[in-house]
Amino acid sequence: MLMQEITTKKLAGEALTPEEIEFAVGGFTEGSVPDYQMSALLAAICAKGMTAEETYVLTECMKSSGQVLDLSFIRGVKLDKHSTGGVGDKTSLVLVPLIAASRGKVVKMSGRSLGYTGGTIDKLESIPGFRTDLTREEMIAVADKVGCVISGQTAEIAPADKKMYALRDVTGTVSSIPLIASSIMSKKLASGADIILLDVKVGSGAFMKTREQALELAQTMVDIGKRAGKKVAAILTSMDVPLGNAVGNSLEVIEAVETLSGRGPGDFADICVMLAAYMVAMKDGREPGKCIYEIMDRLYDGTAKAKLRAMVEAQGGDPTYIDDTSKFPKAKYRVPVKAPQDGYLGQIDTHLVGLAAQAAGAGRKTKDEPIDHSAGIVLENDGEKRFKKGDVIATVHASSPEKAKEAEEILLSALSFSPNEYERMPLLMDAIFEQEETKGPEIKFTCK
């Protein structure tokens, strides 16, 4: 086969055969297909799309390019969760121990932050000693003993995706539903879980800005999972405002622990319980609404918090930081941001809020850039509160006055004020559960 002929075929709008896709992915991974030829094919896919069959074959080729974890040594049903990323999204820190407390086994591999969205691994590494470089054997041992484990992604998992994503990032070929879906699902399928929940974010702080885009991505990923013989559901959740109040690594860990102690922000607690209800429902073969009270019991009786503590200890971290979050180092400069006018918080550019936290030192522009675990932003994120000019609406945490000033300026540009309460998108926008689309929120409750 010749790569130029495969690319020409795709540019003509024709579907590629499994053999052609395998040739392209395998050749690029092993080095016989050069970057420029793969770049041309990726551009053609962006322009012409892929059928469901092509997208599934691409996913399987990427998954099979490396190690596929065998989790059969872990007793019980193995679950995994993936979020498409957002600002203040520390959901895994609550959801993973919450599922473990509900008799599930969660094996999750996560990544680091790049740009304005935070990475779960960076957040957990703000706990002294916490190890994110576990071997497969260590991951299985922790999951079997504690019920949950969160580790970094290994180089052996879907190496084709790693190479292809790096190329997409520098060639402007990121925005393609088949390429996004295959990238996510190749790693999820290689991770070995029986049940996968996909949290697809929608809004100004998400990669998918509209419900229609998010629903297409969600359906594509669910279809891939169904073809692979996995039980997969996708939930569309709002990211038109930061999730919770804290944006920044140790600040988000503290907020997650507060939530597991029954004192977290209502919107964040709601999302965690909602997602957990869907995961438990898939595990037990029940309706999500019938799992709510069990999940809330685990959230408020301390069981889930005990699971987080046990996971931290099993992965080498200091569990006393879960007992007493005041032990986390504080930023040298904590600068209050004041309302420039009277009114309710209106539309928020969540992307800019993430950039503000990055400017404070909480994010990185390159994968090797160090981050300040204590840096970030804590918002007074209450849509029901009317602020007066001069009221504190947020606090910037930074290591220098210059970083704090830059973060404050970006943050103020992200916020608007309204004379009336601003109607925000619902937390749960759509669900694809048991391969069926359910429009509108199925679960209505509050954890406040």
DSSP letters for 125-176: TTSTT------HHHHHHHHHHHSEEEEEPPTTS-HHHHHHHHHHHHHT----
Q: Which of 63, 187, 305, 403 is labelled catalytic?
A: 187
Q: Is 112 a residue of the active site? A: no
Nearest-angstrom CA–CA distance, 447 and 98: 14
* The two three-digit tokens of residue 359, written as one number: 């400017």
Grouping H, G, I as helix, E, B as strand and the rest as coil, residue 203 is coil
Q: Is 131 a residue of the active site? A: no
Q: Which of 82, 188, 231, 351 is labelled catalytic?
A: 82
Note whether 436 and 281 are within 8 A (CB): no
Nearest-angstrom CA–CA distance, 179 and 181: 6
**Reduced DSSP (H G I as helix, E B as strand, rest coil) percent helix, strand, coil of the chain, to 5:** 45, 20, 35
Q: Is 108 a residue of the active site? A: no
Q: Is 168 a residue of the active site? A: yes
Q: Which of 112, 168, 201, 373 is labelled catalytic?
A: 168
Note whether 387 and 417 are within 8 A (CB): yes
* The two three-digit tokens of residue 18, written as one number: 């499994």
Alpha helices for 234-302 (secondary structure H): 249-260, 266-284, 292-300
Q: Is 201 a residue of the active site? A: no
**Do β-strands 105-110 and 78-83 pair in parallel, antiparallel, or remain unpaired?**
parallel
Q: Which of 89, 122, 161, 223 is labelled catalytic?
A: 161
Nearest-angstrom CA–CA distance, 236 and 282: 17
| Active site (catalytic) residues | 82, 161, 168, 183, 187
